[in-house]
Amino acid sequence: MMETGFDVVLALMLLGVGGWSIIARNMMTAVIIFIAYGLLLSLAWVRLHAVDVSLTEAAIGSGATGLLMVIAAHKVAGDSQRVVRLSRGFHVLAAVFATLVAIGIASLAFVLPGAPVSLAAPVLERLPESGLGNPVAGVLFVYRSFDTLLEKVVLLLALIGVWALARDQDWGGVPGLRLFQHPHSVLMLLARTLPPIGFVFAIYMTWAGADVPGGAFQGGTVLAAMWILVMVAGVRRVPRVSSPLLRLAIVAGPLVFLAIGFLGFVAPGVFLAYPDGLAKPLIVVMEVALTLSIAVILGLLIAGPPRAKDSA
Amino acid sequence: MIPLQAIAETGTTPGGALLVLGIVMPAVALVALIGLGGRAARMIVAAALLFQLYVAVRVALLVAGSATPLAYVVGGFQPPLGITLRADGVSALMMVVSAVIFLGAASFAWKDFAQARGQPEARLSLIFWSALLAMASALNLLFTSTDLFNLYVGLELLTFAAIPVVAIKGGAETLRAALRYLLFAVFGSMLYLFGIVLIYGAYGTLAISAIAAQVQPNAATLAAAGFVTVGLLAKTALFPFHLWLPPAHAGAPAAGSAVLSALVVKGSLFLLMRLWFDTFPSLREPADMQLLAFLGALAVIIGSVTALRQPRLKLLVAYSTVAQIGYMFFVFTLVPKTAGDIVASAAWTGAWLQVVAHAFAKAGMFLAAGLVAEVLGHDRIRDLGGLSARAPLVVLTFAISGLSLMGLPPSGGFSAKFMLLAAALAEGHWVWATVIIAGGVLAGAYVFAVLARMMAAPTKAAELASIGRTRQLIALGLASVSVLMGLMPLHPIAFFEIGRFP
Amino acid sequence: MSAVLLFWLAGSGLIGLAVYGLIVNPHPLCKLLALNLLGSGVFLLFGVIARRGAAAGLGGDPVPQALVITGIVVAFSATAIAVALLLALHAEAGEASLDQEDEEP
Amino acid sequence: MIVTIMAMILLPLAMALLLLSAPLGRLVPRLLGVAPAPALLLLPIAWEGSVSSYTLLGSWTAIVDQAGALLLAASGLLWMIGGFAASQWLKGREGAGRFSLWWLLTLSGSLGVFVAGDVVSFYALYALASLPAYGLIAFGGGEEAQRAGRATLAAALIGEALILAAFVLLTVEAQGQGLAIATVMHALPASPEAGLVITLVVVGFGLKIGLFPLHGWMPMSYAAGPLAAAAVLSGATSKAGLIGLIRFLPLDAPMPVAGGMILAAGLFSAFYGAVLGLTQNNPRSVLAYSSISQLGQMAAVLGAGLAAGVPGAGSIVAFYAVYHVLTKGGLFLMLAAARPPLWQLLLAGVLALGFAGLPLSGGALGKLAFKDVAGSGVTGLLFALAATGSTVLMLHFLRLVKAAPAAAKQEPLPGWAWIAAGLAATLLMWSLFGAVTGVAAGYALKPGVLFELGWPVAAGAAIAWALAAAGTQLPRIEPGDVGARAIAIAEREAPRLARLATRFEIRAHQWQVSTLTLAVVLILWVVLQGWLAPH
C-alpha cells in the first residue's frame, strides 16, 4: 500500500514536472525542470527494478543531457522566438492529436498479451559461461555486444558531428567552454550541487552491485559526467582536439572492443565470441578502455567544437 | 515462453563472416582515421571502400551462386538472445549498389577533401571521410541486420553520419537544414523505437525471423507496426515528412549530396520494405497500404511540380528526390498479400529497380549539379546558358540521369516504371497508374527545363572555372549505370527473390 | 494499481506531452527538450515491459534494460550534436530558428 | 540487315556524341546530310511485301515491313535533302553544334521508329523522334519560338504518357508473353481493355499527327524554328504518329465502331484543316494546316481499314504518306526563297496540288491506292470533297508565296533542295504504285480515273477562283485556333496550379505542419487497421 502510494505520487510528479518543462515560458527554467524530471525518472527506474538504467539515466539522461541543454539555454536565452505565430486552433489540434496518441498508447497496457514474455531465464541460463554476475552486463557485453560496439561508433560519430561545426581556422584548437565560467551563473550552482548527487548514485551503484562487474560501465559514465562538471568549473583545462594523446583516449575503447571482436574469429571462431574461460578478463580489459573513452568523449561532446587555436 | 524452435534458418552459413566484415571494416577504418588523424584519411578510406566493394561483390556472388541467403550469428548467440546478420538477394543488391556509389562519390571528392602535405590536420578531411565511412558501415548494417533494435542503432548511426556531411559547409541555411534533419529524424527514431518496445512486449524477441514465425494481428502488433512505419516514413522523407530533405541535400557538398540522395534515404526505406514484406507481411492492411501509396502519390505530384519551380539546380534535384521516393511507396499496395504470382514479382522487381536506378541517376545528377556550380560559380537555373559549350560532359551526365528519372528507355528508371505500371494496371489500380504516368510527364518537364537552359546561348559573359575531366567522367559513369540497367530484359528478376521470407 | 500499469500510464502521458511540445514549441531547444522527454517516455515504457518480464529470480527482464541503456547513450549523442548545431546556428544567424524564409520562387 | 538497322539508328547518335569533342565536333554540322545514309540501304524493302524481324540487343527487336519501309524510304530521303540544306544554312552560324545535336537525335528516333519491333524500342525511338524536336523549334531563341517549343514539348510529353499507358496495358493483356508488337497486338482484340487501349493509342498518336482537337501546337511549331527544321518535322517526324497508328491499331480484326469513330475524326480533321488553313496568311501556317488536313485523311483511311478489318491498310496509308513526307518537306524548303521565279511557282503548284490528287501527280497515286479501303458512297464522296478542300487551301498557299513581300525573311537554303524533294516524291510514287497496290501504274492514266481524280481538283479551283473574284475576306484566325486557345489557357493556368502546389508544399514542409501530420498519420494508420480490418 505504502509502495503503491509512492508510485502514484511518483507517476503524477513525473507527468507534472515533465509537462511543466514543456509549457515553461523561459527556456532556462524549462531545462532546469527537465533536469529535475530526469532525477525523478531515475527514481522510477529504481521502482522498476532497473538499477543499471537508473544510474545511466541519472548520469547521462539527466546529468550530461541536462548540462548540454543548460549551456545551450544560457547562450540562446536572448532569442526572441520570433516565429510563425501558431493560431489557438492549431494548438488545440496539436493537443487533440497528442492526447489521442497518449490515449492510444495507454490503452495498449490493457491489450498487451496476457502472459508476459521475458528473456530473463535464457539470459541467466547462459550467464555463467561468461563469468559475469550482472545479467544486464551480460546482455551488453556478451549476447548483444554487437549493439554495444555499434553504440560506441555512434558516440564517435557524435563527436565528429560536434567537431564538424568548428570553423576551419579554429580546427586543432581547444574546445571552448570559457563563456560559462562566470562564478555566479546558474551553471556554477549546478556544478556545485550536481556532483554530490551523482556521487550518491555512484555509491549506491557500488553498494548495489558490489560483486557485479557490469557496475564499472555505469560508474564510468557517472564519473565522466562528474568530470565534465569539473571541467566546466575550470578546475581542469580542456585538451586540444588535435592532441594525439587525446585521440588515443578517444579510440582506445572502440579499438580494444574491435580487437577482442576480431580475436573471436581466431579463438572460438566467431566474431565477438570470447575464448573459453577468458570471457571475464577480456570484458574487464574492454571495460577499462571503454570507461576511459566514454569519459573523454562525453567530456568533449559537452565542451563543444574547438573555438580558437591559441586560446590556451 | 519463447518458442525457440520456431526460429528458422538462424545458423551461420559459409561466407557469412563477410557480412560482419561489411559492417565492421568501415568502423575499423573510422577508428583508425580518428586515431591517426585526418592526414592518413584518404588512404584509409580508399582501402576501406575497395574492401567494401570486394565484400559486397563476394556476398552477391555467393547469394547468387547458392540461391540461398548468407547468414552470420554474431557472438555465436542465436536469436532471441543474440543478433543474426542475413543477406538475401536484395541485401546483396543494395550492398553492391552502395559500395559502387560510395567509391564513385569518394573518388569525386578525392581532391576536394584532400589534406595538404606537411600541414596540420584539416577539419574538412577528418569530418567528411569519417562520416563517409560511418555511412558505409551503417548502410551495410541496415541491409543485413535482422534484429530490430540493432537496426535502430544502425538507423541512428546513419543519421548521425549524414548530419556532419550536411553541415560541413557551414552557413546559417545549411546549419538550419542539418538541425531540422536531425530533430525530425530523431523524432522518427523515437516512434520506431516505441514500435519495437511493443513488439518486444508482445513477442519477447526482436529477431525478424522469430517475429515473422509467430506474428499475430493483435492490437499491440498492429500499433507497433504503425509506430515503426510512421517513424521510418519520417526518416525516408516521404511527403509531407520531407521538410528536411531539400535544404539538407542541396546544402551538402556535391559528393555528399550524391550519397545522401542516392543511398541514405534508401536505408530507412529498405527497412520499411524489410518489415512489411519479411517481418509481418500478413498484417498488410489494404487501407493502410493505400495510405502509403496516397502519400507516395502526393510526393510524386507535389514534389515534381515544386522541383519545376525551383530557381536553383541543386534544389531542383533535391525536390526530384522527394518525388522519386514517392514511386517507391507504390510497392506496398502493388505487391499483393498472396505473393508468388507474376504481378507480385513484377511490382517487387520494379520497386527495387526504381531504388537502384534512382540511386545511380541521382548520384550522377547531383555530381553533375556540383560541377555546374563549380564551372559557373552558381547554380541558378535561369543563368545556365552556355554550359553545353563549356562542359558538354556535364550536360550529357545531366541528360542521361534525366532520362532515367523521366522513365524513358533505355534506362533502369523506365524498366522500373514499366513494371510498376504493369502491376498497377493488372491489379486495376488506375489512380496509382495515372500518378506514375503523370510523374513521368512532370519529370520530363523539369529535366527539359534545365536542359533547355543548359543548351541555350550564354546569357552573359561570365568567368568560367575549369573542372577536371576525371570528375566529369565519374559523374558520367554513375549516371550511365542507370541507363545500362535499361538493357536488362523486362522480366521479374529472380535474384531479388532469393531468401525472401515466405 | 500495480507499478507496471501506473508507469505505463505515466509513460503514455509523457509521450503525449512530448509530442505536443514537439509540434507547437517554436524554439529548437524546446523541441530538443521535447524529444528528450519523448525518448524518456519510450524508455520508461520499455522499462515497464522489462518489469513485466520479471522471472527466474530477476526483478526485471535484463534484455530491455540493456537496450534502454544503449538507447539512452544514443539519445544523448543526438542531443550533443543538436546542441552543437543549435549553438553554431545561433552564432551564425544571431538566432536559432528552424524557420527558413520561404519565398515564392 | 541488323547491321544496317543498327547503323541507321546509331550513326546519328554517334555523330551527336562526336559533338562533345571539340575538333571533330566542328565537322558534324557539315555532315548532317550523311547521317541518314544507312536508311537508304533499306530502300528496296519498300518494293517488297515481306515482313521480317530481327533481334537487335537484348529484348530490343526490329521489324521491317512494307509500311515501315515506305515511310523509311521517304523520310530517309527527306532527312538527307534537309540535312544537306541545313548544313549549308549552318555554315558559320552561332549554335551550329547545338542545332546539329537536336537534329541528329530527332533524326535517329524519326527513322528508327519505323522499324521498331517491340513496345520498348518503339517507345524509346518515338520519344527520341518527339522530345528533341523542342530544341529545333526553339532554336531561334525568341519568345515566340520558345513558346512554340514548349507547346510542342508538352504535347509530346503528354502523348508519350498516353502511349506508355497503352503499351503497358497491351503487355499486361498479353499475359507476359512478350513485348514484340506482333505478340501484344495479337492479344488485343479479345482483351476487355481493347476499347481503352485503342482510345489511348488514337489520342496519344493523334497528338503527334495533329488530329483535331489535338492540333493546336502544330501551326505554332511549324511557323517557328528554322525552315530546314520545319521541313523535317512536318515531313518526317509527324509520321512517327502515323506509324504508331499503323502498328497499334488492330487492323486485321474488324472493329466497326472504333474504326468508324476514327474515320469520322480523321475526315473532320481533314476538312477542319483545309478550312482553317484558309484563314492564315503565313505560308508556314497554311502548310501546317494542310498537314493537319492530310494526316487527318490518313487517319481516316486507317479508321476505314480498322472498321472493315483490312490488314493491308497500313501499307496503303504509308504509301500515300510517302508523297506527303517529301512534298511537304520540300514546300517548306521552298519558302527559303522570297520570290521564286514563275517556273518554280508552277512546279510548286503541281506538287502542292498533288495533295489534292491532281491527275498524274504523285499524290494522285496515293489517292488511288486508298480508294478501295476508303470505300465508295458517302465516305468516298467525303474523301473527294476533302481533296477539293486541299485544292482551295493549296491555291491559297501559292497565292501567298507569290505575293510574299520581298522583305520576307530569307534563309540561305540551297535552291535545289526542294526540287529534289518534290521530284523524289513523284518518282517514288510512280515506281512504287504497282508494288503496293498490285495494279500497274498505267491504271492512273485511264480517262475514268483521270476524271475521278480531276473533278474535286477542278471544283476546288473553281471555288478558289470564285472566292478570289468575289473578293471574299476570310477572317484571320490565330495559328492553332481553338488549340492555340487551349494552349494559352494551359499557359495561364498551369503556372497558377503549379504555384498552388508549391504553396501547398511550403505549408506542408513547415515544422509544425509536418510533425502534426505525422501524428495524424499515426492515428489514421491505427484507425484504418482497427476499423477496416476484417480481423
- Looking at per-residue pLDDT, the higher value among A113 and B419 belongs to B419
Going by pLDDT thresholds of 50, 70 and 90, the confidence category of residue D107 is very high
CA B154, B160, B161 angle in degrees (round to 5)? 85
Q: Do D465 and D511 lie in a common domain?
A: no
> Does residue A96 fall inside a structural domain?
no
Range of the domain at D496: 483-532
C-alpha B349/C-alpha B493 separation (Å) is: 6
Ramachandran region of residue A241, left (φ > 0), alpha (ψ -120 to 50) or beta? Answer: alpha
**Strands B70-74 vs B83-87: parallel, antiparallel or unpaired:** antiparallel
Helix axes B17-36, A244-266, angle to 10 degrees: 160
Asked if residues A118 and B81 have their Cβ atoms less than 8 Å apart, the reply is no
Partner residue opposite A98 with nearest CB, options D510, D519, D526: D519
Q: Looking at chain C, which residue has its C-alpha nearest residue B155? A: C74
- The interaxial angle of helices B123-144 and A145-163, nearest 10 deg, is 150
What is the pLDDT averaged over residues B22-36? 94
| pLDDT, tens digit, 9 for 90 and up, residues B38-49 | 778 889 999 999
Poorest-pLDDT segment among C52-61, D34-43, D226-235 = C52-61
Q: Which helix (H) or strand (E) holds A46?
A: helix A27-47
Does residue C28 belong to any structural domain of this protein? Answer: yes
Model confidence band, residue B5 (pLDDT cutoffs 50, 70, 90): very low
pLDDT for the residue numbered D362: 87
What pLDDT, on the 0 to 100 scale, is given for residue B2? 37
The region of weakest confidence among A29-33, C24-28, C78-82, D19-23 is D19-23
Contact assignment for A123 to C62 by CB distance below 8 Å = yes
Whether the per-residue pLDDT at B402 is higher than 50: the answer is yes
Q: Considering only alpha carbons, which residue of chain C is nearest residue B244?
A: C98
Residues B190-203 have pLDDT tens digits of 999 999 999 999 99
Q: Residue A303's pLDDT is what?
A: 83
**Domain limit, last residue, from A43, A77, A111:** A77
Number of inter-chain CB pairs under 8 A, A vs C: 292
User: For the stretch D229-253, what's the b/e string if a residue is b when 16 or more beta carbons lie within 10 angstroms of its beta carbon?
Assistant: bbbbbbbbbbbbbbbbbbbbbbbbb
- CA dist., res. B126 & res. B164, Å (int): 11
Nearest to D512 among C23, C104, C105 (CB): C23
Is A161:B163 a contact under the CB 8 Å cutoff? yes
Span D465-522, pLDDT tens digits: 998 888 877 888 888 888 888 888 988 999 999 999 999 998 888 889 999 999 999 9
Q: Which among A61-65, B179-183, D50-54 has the top mean pLDDT?
A: B179-183
> Are D332 and D387 members of one domain?
yes
Judge contact between A156 and A149, C-beta under 8 A: no
Q: Are C75 and A57 in contact (CB under 8 A)?
A: no
Q: Which residues pair with B207 in a beta bridge?
A: B147
Report H helices in B407-484.
412-426, 430-455, 469-484
In contact, A10 and C5? CB cutoff 8 Å: no
Cβ contacts of B320 within 8 Å, gap of 6 or more: B303, B304, B307, B362, B365, B405, B443, B446
What is residue A312's predicted lDDT score, i.e. its pLDDT?
38
Which triple of cell numbers denotes residue A62?
539527466
D363 is written with which cell numbers? Answer: 499524290
Shortest CA distance to A298 belongs to which of A78, A91, A74, A63?
A63
Per-residue pLDDT, A179: 46
Question: Do A64 and A156 lie in a common domain?
Answer: no
List the grid coordinates of D239: 509520321
* Concatenated DSSP letters of B294-338: HHHHHHHHHHHHHHHT-SBHHHHHHHHHHHHHHHHTTHHHHS-SS
**What percent of chain D shows pLDDT beyond 70?**
98
Per-residue pLDDT band at D401 (split at 50, 70, 90): confident
Q: Is the pLDDT of residue A1 over 70?
A: no
Exposed, middle or buried: residue A235 (CB in 10 Å: 0-12, 13-18, 19+)?
exposed
Query: How many angstroms separate the CA of residue C98 from the nearest CA in chain B?
Result: 6
Please report whether residue C103 resides in a domain: no
Closest to B131 (Cβ–Cβ): which among A144, A160, A261?
A160
What is the identity of the amino acid at B48?
A: A
Residue B74 sits at φ, ψ, to 5 deg, of -70, 130
Cβ pair B191, B234 in contact under 8 A: yes
Q: Count other Cβ atoms within 10 Å, centred on residue D470.
A: 8
Asked if D194 and D318 sit in the same domain, the reply is: yes
| pLDDT at B62 > cutoff 90 | yes
Interchain proximity B75–A271, CB inside 8 Å: yes
Closest CA to D229 of D83, D98, D92: D83
Give the three cell numbers for residue B348. 517487387
| Residue C104 maps to a domain | no
Q: Is residue C101 part of a domain?
A: no
| Domain shared by D396 and D521, yes or no | no
* pLDDT reported for residue B501: 66
Paired residues of B312 in beta bridges: B380
Residues (pLDDT < 50) of chain C are: 102-105
Backbone angles phi, psi at A163, to 5 degrees: -65, -25
Round to whole Å and give the CA distance between A164 and B132. 13
Residue A116 lies in a domain: no
Taking residues D329-346, what's their average pLDDT?
Answer: 85
Question: What pLDDT is attached to residue B399?
Answer: 93
Q: How many domains does chain C have?
A: 1
A267 compared with B304, residue with greater pLDDT = B304
Per-residue burial over B233-246, b if 16 or more Cβ lie within 10 Å, else e, is bbbbbbbbbbbbbb
> Rg of chain B's alpha carbons, rounded to an integer?
22
pLDDT in tens, B347-386: 899 999 999 999 999 999 999 999 999 988 888 998 888 8
Burial of B73: CB neighbours in 10 Å, binned 0-12, 13-18, 19+: buried
Instruction: Based on the fold, state whether residues D519 and D465 are members of the same structural domain.
Output: no
Which of B179-188, D53-62, D356-365 is modeled with the greatest confidence?
B179-188
D360 with D444, same domain? yes
Q: How many CB atoms lie within 10 A of CB D458?
A: 14
> Taking all residues of chain D, what is their mean pLDDT, rounded to a whole number?
88
Q: Which one of D502, D515, D521 would you mutate to disrupt binding with C, by most C Cβ within 10 Å of its Cβ?
A: D515
Verify that A143 and A70 share a domain, yes or no: no
CA separation for the pair B155, B160 (Å, rounded): 9
pLDDT of residue D535: 47
From CA B134, how far away is CA B48, in angstroms rounded? 11
Give the number of other Cβ atoms within 10 Å of residue D503's Cβ.
13
Asked if D371 and D494 sit in the same domain, the reply is no
Write the CB contacts of D469 (distance below 8 Å, at least 6 apart in sequence): none
Q: Which of A84, A100, A101 has its CB closest to that of D510?
A: A84
Pair (D522, D391) in one structural domain: no
> Does a structural domain hold residue A242?
yes
pLDDT for D474: 82
* pLDDT score for B412: 93
CA distance B244 to B267: 16
- Report how far residue D410's alpha carbon sits from residue D419's, in angstroms, rounded to the nearest whole number: 17
| Chain-chain contact of D157 with B288 (C-beta, under 8 angstroms) | no
Q: What domain range is A208 assigned to? A: 132-311
For residue C102, list chain D residues with Cβ-Cβ distance below 8 A: 506
Q: Do D492 and D473 lie in a common domain?
A: no
- Given a cut of 80, whether residue A310 has pLDDT beyond it is no
Angle formed at CA A4 by CA A3 and CA A8, multiple of 5 degrees: 120
Distances (CA, A) of A45 to B256, C40, C46, C69, D343: 41, 11, 11, 12, 104
Residue indicated by cell numbers 571502400: B49
User: Which residue, D461, D479, D497, sits at the end of a domain?
Assistant: D479
C34 and C21 Cβ atoms separated by less than 8 Å: yes
With cell 541488323, the residue in question is: D2
Residue D60: strand pairing partners: D57
Closest CA to A53 of A209, A196, A284, A238: A209
Asked if A70 and A139 sit in the same domain, the reply is no
DSSP secondary structure letter of residue D476: P
**Can you give the pLDDT at residue A152?**
93
First to last CA, chain D: 62
The verdict on D274 and D374 lying in the same domain is yes
- The CA distance from B176 to C88, in Å, is 9
For residue D444, the 8-state DSSP code is: G
Q: How far apart are CA D61 and CA D56, in angstroms?
A: 5
Q: Measured between alpha carbons, how far is D435 from D316 in angstroms, rounded to an integer? A: 11
- Contact call for residues C45 and C12 (beta carbons, < 8 A): yes
Amino acid in the structure at residue D457: V
The total number of structural domains that make up chain A: 2
Residue with cell 577536371: B468
Report pLDDT digits (tens) over B233-287: 999 999 899 999 999 999 999 999 999 999 999 999 999 999 998 888 888 888 8
Report yes or no: D100 at the B interface, CB cutoff 8 Å: no
Which three cell numbers, joined as nine digits, stand for B119? 600541414
Residue B241: the pLDDT is 93
pLDDT exceeds cutoff 70 at B415: yes
For residues B152-170, average pLDDT? 94
How far is the C-alpha of B447 from the C-alpha of B440, rounded, in Å? Answer: 10
The domain in which residue C74 lies consists of 3-93
Q: Are residues D348 and D288 in the same domain?
A: yes
Burial group, residue D378, by CB count within 10 angstroms (0-12, 13-18, 19+) = exposed
- Alpha-helical (H) ranges within D309-415 are 313-334, 342-354, 362-374, 377-403
Q: How far is C59 from chain D (nearest CA, A)?
A: 33
Phi, psi of B72 (to 5 degrees): -145, 130
A82 touching C (Cβ < 8 Å): yes
Q: What pLDDT was estimated at residue C59?
A: 83
- Indicate the SS3 state at residue D208: helix
Q: Tell me how many domains chain D contains.
A: 2
Same domain, yes or no, for A37 and A166? no
User: B440: Cβ–Cβ under 8 A, 6 or more apart, which residues?
Assistant: B406, B407, B417, D160, D161, D164
Q: Are residues D510 and D474 in the same domain?
A: no
Q: Do B310 and C67 touch (CB under 8 A)?
A: no
Cell numbers of A52, please?
Answer: 543499471
pLDDT of residue B325: 94
d(CA A247, CA B121): 13
Contact A104 D526 (CB under 8 A): yes
Q: Please give the radius of gyration of chain A, using alpha carbons only, rounded to the nearest integer.
A: 22
Contact residues, chain D, for B192 at CB < 8 Å: none
Is pLDDT above 80 for D404? Answer: no
Contact A97 D523 (CB under 8 A): yes
Domain assignment present for A282: yes
**CATH number, domain at C27?**
1.10.287
